[in-house]
Amino acid sequence: MLPFSQLIHPEGWRFVAIFSGVTILMCLFSETLGWIGAILTAWCFYFFRNPLRVTPERSGLIISPADGKIVAIRKVVPPSEWEIGEEPRVRISVFLNVFDVHINRIPISSTIRKVIYHPGKFFNASLDKASEFNERNTLILDLENGEDMAVVQIAGLIARRIRCDVKQQDVVSTGSQYGIIRFGSRADIYLPLNMAPLVIEGQRVIGGETVLADFESEELARHGSIV
């Protein structure tokens, strides 16, 4: 059980305080407004929640860095400034709506080679063009087996603040928290070369728990259907 101070991400406490203060003022004018404020304050607390996660510990597993829905799995060439080669890689895009946990987690134990911030626009994060045009923050990860990959925090239509708590040369472990995006947003994962995803478009994933890919798996890319 987490202590009360850790039930939500530190980024959220000032918002909870602001929402609570506004709610008190609203109560002075109207009981109805007070109830509306209380509901919004409860939502704010819920948005910044920090649930415990059970992260698989076996080496070779790449875990989802975020909660949400997989909106796209594409094979794309990474941006040249990342310096991870020009060969196409599988990119898994996870869309986070305003009710998902927005804390981001490291997908696999690694060393951070680069942290690259990209200023940009604020298109709806569920759109493909968000990966290229939206404000975003990229981590280039050097894995323990010599491979590399990238994970990207992307701001959305409502999200206007990306927080990243790690820096170049930090050694990080699978499932550890490294940042948060508020409020609706997206996470892109560029898998190592020639690696097949073990998830499908439309699937819901859990940050720190859902396995996206496995170095030890020989399974081809999965297909699925809505039933």
Any idea which residues carry the catalytic annotation? 185
Residue 163 and residue 179 in contact, taking contact as beta carbons nearer than 8 Å: yes
From 114, 97, 205, select the one nearest 164 (Cα to Cα): 114
Residue 146 and residue 171 in contact, taking contact as beta carbons nearer than 8 Å: no
Strands 185-190 and 89-96: antiparallel
Residue type, 110: S
Buried b (16+ CB within 10 A) or exposed e, 212-223: bbbeeeeeeeee
From 45, 40, 63, select the one nearest 53 (Cα to Cα): 63
Residues in the chain: 227
